[in-house]
Structure 1
């Protein structure tokens, strides 16, 4: 079968790209060997954020009544399934749009412009690889013990762990630490690096960790896990903290040490495409070294974020259509849906220091914001980073709805805005966004 465009993978990058391509007149065939919506919808962003919402409701009730309600894990998991199922049906409906053919089969390359799926061959001058990523398991003794899980298995737990040990303090680790602490589990986080959330401004990350420690989450930073051992119904995680052996006992151990591009079984060896363990190599148009073959989202390793995959997919289709766009891939907001939230966009202070960039910082605090106090959310800070001409080059925050606040900074940065521009924008009162405005005063 000959078509205009082939897309492998139906995550946010894949299905949004298919819609964009079809609307622009490209007959598109999209392949998916699992569930429509990919990891984000079924095993990642959406189910996790559903549980984050459940955790937030527990915290709200506890703050209002002074008594923490008991968590019904089965109800939380059932609601998660309802939300993901509803959204998955929506994606499947989109994939029935005119110009899109949705094939539920595993696809692999026969050659650079031929894909084999379900015993049939499909050819196209343009192919977009959007196969996402999967959990990366470190070489730790006992990593395959029963009860050692990835985020996928944790999202399907049937019994609440009394003690959850998390290896890794990145986005996945921190979100699950926050959720299960709210659910009533004892939580321990073991991290090899000096600070949690390495992609976030270290000032914000440190403050956030302190908040989580006050919630009762135990952190072991600069600690290397050596082994995991099962004794009866308990797991013992053995690790070195600054060369001193220590151990933690847990019911469940979550391995959250990052993700790797999902390229196994794609048949890339038949294409000549350049790739390594970090992902498929692409240029700024998401084009590989093979003409007409693109890679978007987690599989190229550039920015493992659902919205990054969507933006990259639009860019690749625009390149195919020879259309220009003003998408600025370097201005990529990101959020961590802990309680409270963490979010950031642009350069961090650490990056500026490493690159030798002169910068200034301005800070605004939740404790002086009327809406934050009314919400009983006085813990938080917004940090603006500007160059010597007051141009905003970064914004980072922790606190209630930090992701929403960062989005306003993202808009301003996309237009090379300054603190003067931000100061001149009228903000609704009372809102949390006033914290961002106040940081310029």
Structure 2
């Protein structure tokens, strides 16, 4: 029986980052993982493979729409199997990198699926290992709808959408959230006719409403069709094709649409099967999440939980921050996560990024605020690169000028948002951003201009 200071269950972003930080802080650490490779959902069937396909198809779209404008002539064609191989190579490089980091930091990989028979013990296969502390980082899995059975061939989750045998002529995406729009964009660029069916009357639930409206207009212009305010009733399969039936929430009228592939992207749910949490006495929330306190401790002493298995946004970087924080706590330090400054990104083209409060949230709070906006049409670099769609929007406290939130749709939005994140982490005002010199010509100047718009006004708008 091996004994450890810490055993982490799950080697996704939360789990492996937690393990590395714990090892750096001197804790003897092991990680339980049943996959053949490390990295969890994110690296194997989520963040990394989807971004590889997004990048490949974005390059394809660039050749189709902008090369000729720049005086470039090129004939392009799609080799789908080779593109999938490129995606797999990206996965291998990243998962292999995590395995290297485990060896570098002397972290033991306990291969297999784990359970917790009692506090202080983790069972993997027939072996039981002792640990002073256990961190559950078991992640999440795709959720589905009643009446919709996922076979990962014609009706697929995000996992199956990454390995379709061929490019579908017609695809229906159920759910207009981040995953559905990203993968829908991939197949639209590849030539699929894509229709997104969403239960709500708007896309990207939780996103700033103005940003969401503009985002939908851009995606519509790119050829993605939307059916909003519609409840999917079921999916029927026949001769390798699917028929999706839905009902309009407004008038109850039913309709159907045929497709070669249906992507079900209606969210994710915590994955805690097989851990033995009920017998252990771990308290759960009504939504099936593990209940934790401010220090990530469960109701069972010595057992902690982080990431998608606990309440909060299901984001890899949120799990990573929690992994670092709980490792620091277990090492006697003051681990902490600032949940007010966790960015969210949609990796479509253009990208969409958000951090902090939306206008809707501030109105609900009754808080007095100011808005500073700047369009990428006024950014020299964006215009030169055919990236002028979208804008930067910064929300600040009306009295103090302190930044409360930011919302960006445009080129490199997922990178630009971090300038605002750092500013918010230090309690900065919009004026602080506005008075910071930005290199010219860069996309980041649009962030400065939006900050200037919170005061006397932007220069180039």
Q: Give the TM interval when normalised to the shorter protein.
A: over 0.9
1:299 aligns with 2:309: yes
Return the alpha-carbon distance in structure 2 between the equivalents of residues 145 and 11 of structure 1: 22
1:427 matched to which residue of 2? 438
2:115 matched to which residue of 1? 108
Distance 1:68 1:161, change over 3 A: farther
Instruction: Give TM-score, length-normalised by structure 1.
Output: 0.97
Alpha carbons 2:66, 2:386 under 8 Å: kept: no
1:347 aligns with 2:357: yes
Alpha carbons 1:114, 1:122 under 8 Å: kept: yes
1:386 matched to which residue of 2? 396
Match of 1:175 among 177, 182, 195: 182
SS in 1 for 2:171: strand
1:22 aligns with 2:23: yes
How far did 1:387 drift? 1.0
Q: How many pairs are equivalent?
A: 441
Alpha carbons 1:145, 1:228 under 8 Å: kept: no
Return the alpha-carbon distance in structure 1 between the equivalents of residues 158 and 336 of structure 2: 35
Return the alpha-carbon distance in structure 2 between the equivalents of residues 144 and 356 of structure 1: 47
SS in 2 for 1:283: coil
Return the alpha-carbon distance in structure 1 between the equivalents of residues 218 and 212 of structure 2: 10
Match of 1:62 among 64, 68, 82: 64
How far did 1:280 drift? 0.6
Alpha carbons 2:21, 2:328 under 8 Å: kept: no
Q: Deviations over 1:288-315 (max 9, x none)?
A: 1222211111111312111111100111
How far did 1:69 drift? 3.6
Return the alpha-carbon distance in structure 2 between the equivalents of residues 185 and 438 of structure 1: 38
1:7 matched to which residue of 2? 8
Return the alpha-carbon distance in structure 2 between the equivalents of residues 64 and 105 of structure 1: 49
2:163 matched to which residue of 1? 156
Alpha carbons 1:133, 1:299 under 8 Å: kept: yes
Alpha carbons 1:345, 1:410 under 8 Å: kept: yes
1:368 matched to which residue of 2? 378
1:251-266 correspondence to structure 2 within 5 Å: 251-266=260-275
SS in 2 for 1:60: helix
1:416 matched to which residue of 2? 427
2:32 matched to which residue of 1? 31
What is the root-mean-square deviation of aligned Cα atoms in Å? 1.5
1:271 matched to which residue of 2? 280
Match of 2:81 among 69, 74, 79: 74
Instruction: Give TM-score, length-normalised by structure 2.
Output: 0.93
1:47 aligns with 2:49: yes
Match of 1:312 among 301, 322, 342: 322
SS in 2 for 1:439: helix
Alpha carbons 1:26, 1:99 under 8 Å: kept: no
Distance 1:68 1:221, change over 3 A: farther
Return the alpha-carbon distance in structure 2 between the equivalents of residues 228 and 102 of structure 1: 41
Return the alpha-carbon distance in structure 1 between the equivalents of residues 25 and 106 of structure 2: 9
Return the alpha-carbon distance in structure 1 between the equivalents of residues 153 and 444 of structure 2: 46
Alpha carbons 1:109, 1:270 under 8 Å: kept: no
How far did 1:146 drift? 5.5
How far did 1:330 drift? 2.1
SS in 2 for 1:279: coil
The answer to which of 350-359 and 312-321 deviates more is 350-359
How far did 1:424 drift? 1.3
How far did 1:84 drift? 0.4
Q: Deviations over 1:160-200 (max 9, x none)?
A: 00001000000100101111111111100000011111121
Match of 2:417 among 375, 400, 406: 406
How far did 1:139 drift? 0.8
How far did 1:40 drift? 0.1
Structure 1 gaps, min length 5: none
